[in-house]
Structure 1
């Protein structure tokens, strides 16, 4: 292999990396955008292979990368486009299971160093669950290094057969809310009025409307809050296959819940909330949890996956799929301003322990250097 270096000293060639994205996961897309900017700033050449709509949303080219359109598919045309993009790469880094599997097909057994980041677990039932396990095994056995964003994911990769699996916490940028550019005391009433939460507590949940998000449990819990005066309003931002079923249930049971669809102002909505809710059946490194703690919004979350490791004592944790525990925790917090303030302080301290974007880029680059630098002869 030709010696490479991120800064290309002494005539060495510049490190050329390809980042492969499926394009459907906001967490991994935001990470690749941040990682791209950091790598380019350190002299690394970056090509991002992702659907064109992902580049429109995350502006990889604006971060200094070349962008190659690769559709969200494993059909021959998509694999061929990815193979061409990876042809002269010194290292390929794929994010998520499906993107990683496409990269394995494109590399076709070539000895190019291959890094995989697992940001989350893939979900499926029945025969499809078996297929996902086969894909996971194929991917981790092909990978030089598997990076998991939580200890659970690292353990899963090792059980699946990874030769080298490591914990790699993924930083997200601390959200810039309107409160940083405007008077928050003036902004919050406007946001709350738009959502219909004037004069009542506002509880925010954010995430795709999928079964593993635990929204059925959340709707069950709202029944207990209906006896409060004023009745809290739950606002859920996100889209997904359960939208119709959830909306029908909200209307038929008269629940104090609003579905507002996908929003690009989540940080602003969250900053106006009294509590953030994360009722998921499983989560890895939850973006909502990170944004809530950064914004000093008290969080009630289920103790699943990577959530306890992420939030420490900076959130109120409850068992998953337990509507009574969730309801009781919310009622206690709404009636206890001192506890809410304590969670704000603990959450901010916990957030300060998370890696910065610079630290995340440095860690990834050290893995790249390890895999691409020539080893001294024994």
Structure 2
């Protein structure tokens, strides 16, 4: 089978997922090409996995001229493919525009040899739109393009599936997006806590991009207290456009929060944390939550998107935008070591149940079938 992947700008989970799928197909003897921004190819090492990578400048924001060029470039890359699998709404819409409409494809393929038929278009949606205004309107158009032109739409949460079905998508299926195997910690929890200056206080960890979707303003509201006993130390690992704004508020209000920046020692941080917390507006199947479950670290998260299905009954779920509920959940857990140990054991059990890379590749291959 000849499979072409199309991916837009990404620095995290989407890029790792596409690389994992592509490498898995290569190992199974399929021919794979991937198209996307040059920096994506370099960061995720597609070439090292035996995947031919073609640079296509898929920007993270709509731009008529650049998008037209990207559509033409994608059209060249996917020519001759059996399946085109685009990841993300922007990449999905560009891939859809690069391919003939269904009616045109059916007419053109009559009497054509088997290898000349139009590729199957599969689009995986990894995120929901949480912005409004002009950007929201543009992305609404892209959603309709994907819903009406993709042969199959894979989604990371039930709400995304319901939205795409309502927009006309004919075949909507759940995506399987596993976290990579978690390496063993290289440092002791004591060493990590000493580095962070946690002392004897509970350590509350968040692993997230510093962006609007992650609800970090609610996290800071929760961190502000009041607390029974010494306030926990909140540590946020990640970078993003809101760093300056968060830093100013943390300093102005003297909040018990440290910004760690991007880290390559997340397993060490998870092993040292009392609990890991997400205050997100929306999440699909966040790899950071999967990694936390695999590490056996207690989870507190907002009940949004795909999080309830991912966590199951192995974590504490709270409403989005409710700092009091978030703070109460953290307070209950950090005040009771026995309770923390029970949630840690539940997280570890759930982590063992989560799908792995082979499950994801098999699921993708099932989606690529024309039957």
C-alpha separation in 2, matches of 1:335 and 1:233: 14
Selected match of 1:168 from 175, 197, 207:
175
- Partner residue, 1:150: 157
- Partner residue, 2:34: 48
- Tell me the alpha carbon deviations over residues 341-367 of structure 1, each in whole angstroms, 9 at most, x when there is no partner: 111121122222222211111111122
Aligned: 1:97 with 2:97:
no
Deviates more, 1:65-74 or 1:105-114: 105-114
C-alpha separation in 1, matches of 2:203 and 2:275: 7
Deviates more, 1:208-217 or 1:274-283: 208-217
Residue aligned with 1:204, SS: strand
Selected match of 1:115 from 111, 118, 122:
122
Deviates more, 1:162-171 or 1:257-266: 257-266
- Partner residue, 1:135: 142
Using the size of structure 1 for normalisation, the TM-score is 0.88
Contact between 1:278 and 1:288, CA under 8 Å: does it hold in 2? no
Contact between 1:225 and 1:232, CA under 8 Å: does it hold in 2? no
C-alpha separation in 1, matches of 2:152 and 2:69: 27
Using the size of structure 2 for normalisation, the TM-score is 0.90
- Partner residue, 1:265: 265
Q: Which runs of 5+ in 2 are unaligned?
A: 60-65, 106-117
Query: 1:266-285 residue pairs with structure 2 within 5 A?
Result: 266-285=266-285
Instruction: Using the TM superposition, give the Cα deviation of residue 102 of structure 1 relative to its aligned residue in structure 2, in angstroms.
Output: 1.4
- Partner residue, 1:310: 310
Residue aligned with 1:241, SS: coil
C-alpha separation in 1, matches of 2:244 and 2:21: 36
Instruction: Using the TM superposition, give the Cα deviation of residue 108 of structure 1 relative to its aligned residue in structure 2, in angstroms.
Output: 4.2
Q: What is the Cα-based RMSD across aligned positions, in Å?
A: 1.7
Deviates more, 1:343-352 or 1:251-260: 343-352
C-alpha separation in 2, matches of 1:57 and 1:269: 23
Instruction: Using the TM superposition, give the Cα deviation of residue 190 of structure 1 relative to its aligned residue in structure 2, in angstroms.
Output: 2.0
Residue aligned with 1:49, SS: strand
Count of matched residue pairs: 350
Instruction: Using the TM superposition, give the Cα deviation of residue 64 of structure 1 relative to its aligned residue in structure 2, in angstroms.
Output: 1.5
Aligned: 1:39 with 2:25:
yes
Displaced runs of 4 or more, over 4 A: none
C-alpha separation in 1, matches of 2:151 and 2:271: 41
Residue aligned with 2:188, SS: helix
- Partner residue, 1:83: 75
Instruction: Using the TM superposition, give the Cα deviation of residue 143 of structure 1 relative to its aligned residue in structure 2, in angstroms.
Output: 0.5
- Partner residue, 2:225: 224
Contact between 1:91 and 1:112, CA under 8 Å: does it hold in 2? yes
C-alpha separation in 2, matches of 1:25 and 1:97: 16
Contact between 2:124 and 2:155, CA under 8 Å: does it hold in 1? yes
Aligned: 1:71 with 2:78:
no
Instruction: Using the TM superposition, give the Cα deviation of residue 259 of structure 1 relative to its aligned residue in structure 2, in angstroms.
Output: 1.2
Deviates more, 1:281-290 or 1:103-112: 103-112
Q: Which runs of 5+ in 1 are unaligned?
A: 1-14
Deviates more, 1:15-24 or 1:150-159: 150-159
Residue aligned with 1:169, SS: coil
Contact between 1:21 and 1:49, CA under 8 Å: does it hold in 2? yes
- Partner residue, 2:243: 243
Residue aligned with 1:352, SS: helix
C-alpha separation in 1, matches of 2:332 and 2:319: 16
C-alpha separation in 2, matches of 1:70 and 1:225: 50
- Tell me the alpha carbon deviations over residues 110-136 of structure 1, each in whole angstroms, 9 at most, x when there is no partner: 532100011121332123212211110
Quickly say closer, same or farther: Cα 1:72–1:145, change in 2 above 3 A.
Answer: same
Query: 1:167-186 residue pairs with structure 2 within 5 A?
Result: 167-177=174-184, 179=185, 182=186
- Partner residue, 2:109: none
Aligned: 1:58 with 2:65:
no
